[in-house]
Amino acid sequence: MTRWKNTSVYRALGTLSALPVRLLSHLPLKEGKTHGGLSFPQWFLLLGTAAMLCVPHGAWNNLYGVIFALAALLIYWFDCAARQKTPWNAGNLGVFVLAFLLLTVLCTLWAENKAGNLRVALFFWTGFLLAYLAAAQFRSRDERRTAAAILYITLLAVSLYGLWNYLTGSETSDVPIDGEMYRRLGATLEHGINCGEFLAMALPIALVWALSERTRARRIALTLPLLLPCAAILLTYARTGWIMLALALAVLLWYKKKILLLPAAALGIGALFLLPESLQARFLSMLDFSNASASGRFVLWSECFALWKDRWLLGIGLGPENFYAAYTPYATGLLDFQPPHSNMLYLEMFLSTGILGGLLFCGFFFGIFAALRRAVRAIPEPRSRWEVQALIASLAGAALGGIPEYIWFYPRILFFWCTLFGMALAVSDSGQP
């Protein structure tokens, strides 16, 4: 990263990042007041992100996320101009992120469905714009703690909405288990898989925030409500969400006290047999490596690997339209459904953007863990490390979830992951843990 910051490209990006603010600085702008320790742009980003996750799927349009991100950027620029503050250099996102984003646009040149590629590229750019804004505006631990509090409230709101819909029979998606169909909780995020991914990424952050309270009474009072999202993630019947959360909690225990891992695992296995039979069967299906139990993933992956062997250099382009066109000649007919993607985040990135795009993706997707590990080591006070460790746990869960699922397929999950990525950049880059 130090070498990158010494390059002329990085300095040029700094100049471009500051240009809108320089133009706005000629206007007679008044510096805004802070409320609760945060400025208006910070509150706008936090509350807008919360609203984005809480809007029911039926009322949601992915373009709302694009508009929100652009509005948040404009408000950030006006605030920087009013405060006579230099905006954060976009180059701090890292060379891997920036090169990857550039490649998502270049893929349009060889993608069969160019509009489909540009649409998904727009969502990727929107996600990393949110990452930029989170990293730029939440530089201190107190600011990020407020962000964690808002996420805690959002997590409870989404869980309560989902549980209410589940209990009243309003949920519309089902999952087959042992020949019977069971209703699954999707809350505001359309489907149990999407909801499970969000809950698994949000719970570690909310849990650490609750347990970081000074008094025991407050810790208990804030931790007990998290049983609601725990119940919600069970009722999603989303195995991906379950393993994501399990890994995230294991990472937190590893940092807290490694010796607790074995009794925690034993407790988890014992608790499994207290669950309803449908949940037990869904859990135990993860031990069945047949193609039927894996919902056709092994067949789909073998077909997609055959496709990638022929299109490994440039890829096929982004989006389900390009996937349909490229995948159809390689379909063996063994699947009874038309897949919209390869059902694996890593395979999807290599398949969509080629070998270079896949490597760039891996560069930032896994590179953030090295940056966070350095941030942990730089913090002398063990209690102060929990914020960073929570981010490691959440992003590690997402990394595991990327194996059985294309977790970026639903844009709101992509936007949320990018926001966490931006917070992780802020922790590792600000030097103010």
DSSP 125-144: HHHHHHHHHHHHH--SHHHH
Separation CA 37–CA 196 (nearest Å):
32
Q: What is the pLDDT of residue 432?
A: 39
Separation CA 303–CA 329 (nearest Å):
10
Surface-to-core class of residue 329, CB atoms within 10 Å of its CB (0-12 exposed, 13-18 middle, 19+ buried): exposed
Is pLDDT above 70 for 364?
yes
Q: Is 354 in contact with 315 (CB distance < 8 Å)?
A: yes
Beta bridge pairs of residue 35: 38
Q: Is 367 in contact with 96 (CB distance < 8 Å)?
A: yes
Average pLDDT over every residue of 201-228:
95
Q: Is 34 in contact with 143 (CB distance < 8 Å)?
A: no
Integer CA distances (angstroms), 241 to 276, 279, 407, in order: 18, 13, 10
Return the H-helix or E-strand segment holding 81.
helix 62-83
Average pLDDT, the chain: 94
Q: What is the pLDDT of residue 431?
A: 41
Alpha helices in 312-385 (DSSP H): 320-327, 345-377
Beta bridge pairs of residue 182: 175
For 48-59, write each residue's pLDDT tens digit: 999 999 999 999
- Which two three-digit tokens encode residue 128? 């990393």
Q: What is the pLDDT of residue 430?
A: 53
Average pLDDT over every residue of 25-43:
90
Separation CA 48–CA 222 (nearest Å):
23
Pairing of strands 174-177, 180-183: antiparallel
Separation CA 19–CA 21 (nearest Å):
5
Q: Is 419 in contact with 390 (CB distance < 8 Å)?
A: no
Least Cα distance to 418 among 343, 365, 352, 382 occurs for 365
Prediction pTM value? 0.96
